[in-house]
């Protein structure tokens, strides 16, 4: 059978493309090399407990907010979402001093200005910029509006410069950037657009999901199947075959051929181009250009299994720092101790007041694990295991400053590095946020869905904006190349 669309990779972007296209009557086949769907939405189980890999919380899911509109379209709002504490959904802690992030623009300003009264007007200006950029996210569906938007300071200015121009207090600048371990804080590169869109969505509302993020992938797959699409796991694509300047077939590792009219790749652009072994269309200069764009750092994670009934559930996230230079984590520093950690509590089931799982996350560059690059899972050696134990201990030490008796209440520790993410989810170099966007080289680092091969499209976090909101938006841009932007805008009721 020849499909209208063949999609490589069943991460969020690939599944969302599959949903939109199958909903519009196209025959869709999604090919995923892993036994599990979801990419960084995957969960894993140990000793009866469920742990998330890359998904921990999302923003903008309340009525009338952007992700609510998108998730209503994808029929995901009936999942067990749990709203975080509106008075303090994120708590930033610098050297023991605590700062609360509250939901709602006015409440956000009032809460932080209580600690920084001389910065209240600056906080109003900060929120005004974030909210304006956030409101305009759907402008990209209109060609005229999109052109103006992409030329605005949201894209041409760095987040670092924006903070320095807007906020005069150095500590408040640190605090406002302190919840941004969910992006790579690069002072010379990070566009204001990424910083503003992501932070704005969480300030609007913040949510966890009970039972793990893979429910998103599973529900999307069920919808795709009910719409006539096919979602396959353990179906690794080893080659995309080009004939007469277009891709006609995907070759699987078992020798099977899958034919399609259009192909969408949800894997990294470098890995996508590697699948096209022989091409008369893709030039080496294009391959070099894509291959030379740096990737963002990855994450080290310590998943803590806790003794039953010992650790009260906290309905917020903790960002703990023992440094003031939070804009330097993109740099590799040999033998540097971890001095920051994101603490994420697993939502307990059945209304219980304690949690069994806490995840600790901290940035980790590829260079920190590059010496084990050629190894495979469970075969990396004693030095690698020792390194993970040391990093876990550093993260636990930081978290213990805020969570009493944490060390005593730990039953087991499971650890992962960028190598783990690479091998389990297929993420290129274990990058947490995909290709590194640069406000000064936007056209070079912010990719479009199109490739030199007319029927080979891209989707996912490497193109536009990472995170659930960004990947969802990018999936619509990719589908618009097939269905047309007017059709996408109509389905999302952008102009209604």
Chain segment 111-120, per-residue pLDDT in tens: 999 999 999 9
Tell me if 272 sits within 8 A of 460, measured CB to CB.
no
User: For position 53, what pLDDT does the model report?
Assistant: 82
The token duo for 131 is: 């909210």
Is residue 131 situated within a structural domain?
no
Q: 357 with 49: CB under 8 angstroms? A: yes
Confidence of residue 425 (pLDDT cuts 50, 70, 90): confident
Mean pLDDT of the chain: 93
Q: Mutual orientation of helices 192-204 and 120-135 as an angle, nearest 10°?
A: 100
Q: Does the residue 180 lie in any domain?
A: no
Strand ranges in 117-271 using DSSP code E only, listed in sequence order: 206-209, 230-232, 237-243, 246-252, 257-265
Closest CA to 446 of 468, 422, 477: 477
Backbone angles phi, psi at 288, to 5 degrees: -65, -40
265 found inside a domain: yes
pLDDT surpasses 90 at 259: yes
Out of 150-164, 172-186, 315-329, which region has the weakest mean confidence (pLDDT)? 150-164
Banded model confidence at residue 76, pLDDT cuts 50, 70, 90: very high
pLDDT at residue 387 is higher than 90: yes
- Tens digits of per-residue pLDDT, 441-477? 888 888 899 999 999 999 999 988 888 999 999 999 9
Residue 150 reports pLDDT greater than 70: no
Residue 248 has pLDDT above 70, yes or no: yes
Q: Is residue 187 included in any domain, yes or no?
A: no
Identify the sign of the CA torsion 217, 222, 223, 225: positive
pLDDT at 143: 56
Strand-pair partners of 44: 51
Per the domain annotation, does 49 fall within a domain? yes
**pLDDT band at residue 151, thresholds of 50, 70 and 90?**
low
Cα–Cα distance between 362 and 343 in angstroms, integer? 9
* CATH number assigned to the domain comprising residue 246: 3.50.50.60
d(CA 268, CA 433): 11
Q: Which residues contact 264 (CB under 8 A, 6 or more apart)?
A: 5, 6, 7, 8, 14, 17, 457, 458, 459, 478
User: Of the given ranges (138-142, 433-437, 456-460), which has the lowest mean pLDDT?
Assistant: 138-142
Residue 48 belongs to a domain: yes
Alpha helix segments (H runs only) across 293-425: 382-400, 418-425
Domain range enclosing 269: 2-55+212-293+437-491
pLDDT above 90 (res 255): yes
From the CA atom positions of the chain, what is the Rg in Å? 22
CA separation for the pair 314, 134 (Å, rounded)? 28
pLDDT higher than 90, residue 408: yes
Q: Is the pLDDT of residue 86 over 90?
A: yes
Question: What 3-state DSSP class applies to 89?
Answer: coil
Residue 436 pLDDT: 93
Q: Is the pLDDT of residue 148 over 80?
A: no
Whether residue 246 lies inside any domain: the answer is yes
What pLDDT is stored for residue 353 in this prediction? 92
User: Would residue 424 count as lying in a domain?
Assistant: no
pLDDT at 351: 76
CA dihedral 7, 8, 13, 16 (to 10 degrees): 30
Residue-wise pLDDT for 6-16, tens only, equals 999 999 999 99
Q: Which of 25-34, 35-44, 438-447 has the highest mean pLDDT?
A: 25-34
Structure tokens at 297: 């750092």
Write down the pLDDT at residue 147.
Answer: 59
For the cut 70, the answer to whether the pLDDT of residue 47 exceeds it is yes
Of the pLDDT bands very low, low, confident and very high (cuts 50, 70, 90), residue 146 is low
Percentage above 70 pLDDT, the chain: 97
* DSSP assignment letter at 450: B
**Per-residue pLDDT band at 149 (split at 50, 70, 90):** low
Q: In the chain, how many domains are there?
A: 1
Q: Average pLDDT in the 322-340 region?
A: 90
Q: Is the dihedral of CA 234, 268, 21, 224 positive or negative?
A: positive
- pLDDT tens figures, 360-371: 999 999 999 999
């Amino acid at each position: 059978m020849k499909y209208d669309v063949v999609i490589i990779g069943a991460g969020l972007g690939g599944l969302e493309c599959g949903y939109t296209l199958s909903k519009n009557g196209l025959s869709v086949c999604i090919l995923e090399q892993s036994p599990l769907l979801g990419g960084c939405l995957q969960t894993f189980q140990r000793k009866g407990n469920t742990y998330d890999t890359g998904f921990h919380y999302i923003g903008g899911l309340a009525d009338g907010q952007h992700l609510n509109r998108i998730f209503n379209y994808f029929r995901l709002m009936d999942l067990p979402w749990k709203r975080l504490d509106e008075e303090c959904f994120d708590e930033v802690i610098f050297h023991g001093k605590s700062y609360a992030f509250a939901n709602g623009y006015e409440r956000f300003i009032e809460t932080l200005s209580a600690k920084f009264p001389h910065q209240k007007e600056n906080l109003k200006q900060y929120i005004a910029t974030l909210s304006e950029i956030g409101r305009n996210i759907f402008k990209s569906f209109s060609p005229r509006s999109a052109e103006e938007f992409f030329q605005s300071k949201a894209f041409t200015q760095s987040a670092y410069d924006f903070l320095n121009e807007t906020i005069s207090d150095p500590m408040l600048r640190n605090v406002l950037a302190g919840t941004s371990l969910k992006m790579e804080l690069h002072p010379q590169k990070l566009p204001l657009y990424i910083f503003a869109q992501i932070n704005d969505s969480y300030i609007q509302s913040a949510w966890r999901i009970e039972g793990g993020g893979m429910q998103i992938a599973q529900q999307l797959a069920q919808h795709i199947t009910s719409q006539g699409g096919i979602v396959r796991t353990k179906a690794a694509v080893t080659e995309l075959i080009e004939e007469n300047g277009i891709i006609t077939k995907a070759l699987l590792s078992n020798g099977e051929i899958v034919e399609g009219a259009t192909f969408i790749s949800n894997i990294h652009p470098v890995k996508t181009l590697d699948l096209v072994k022989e091409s008369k269309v893709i030039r080496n200069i294009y391959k070099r250009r894509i291959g030379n764009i740096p990737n963002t750092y990855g994450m080290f994670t310590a998943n803590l299994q806790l003794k039953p009934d010992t650790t009260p559930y906290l309905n917020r996230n903790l960002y703990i720092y023992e440094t003031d230079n939070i804009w330097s984590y993109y740099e590799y520093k040999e033998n540097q101790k971890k001095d920051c950690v994101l603490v994420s509590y697993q939502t307990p089931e059945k209304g219980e007041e304690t949690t069994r799982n806490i995840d600790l996350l901290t940035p980790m560059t590829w260079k920190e694990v590059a010496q084990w690059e050629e190894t495979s899972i469970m075969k990396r050696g004693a030095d690698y295991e020792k390194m993970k134990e040391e990093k876990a201990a550093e993260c636990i030490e930081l978290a213990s400053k805020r969570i009493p008796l944490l060390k005593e209440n730990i039953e087991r520790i499971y650890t992962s590095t960028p190598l783990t993410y690479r091998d389990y989810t297929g993420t290129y170099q274990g990058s947490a946020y995909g290709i590194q966007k640069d406000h000064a080289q936007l056209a070079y680092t912010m990719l479009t869905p199109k490739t030199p091969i007319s029927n080979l499209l891209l989707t996912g976090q490497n193109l536009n904006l990472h995170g659930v909101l960004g990947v969802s938006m990018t999936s619509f841009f990719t589908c618009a190349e097939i269905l047309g932007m007017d059709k996408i805008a109509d389905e999302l009721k952008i102009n209604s």
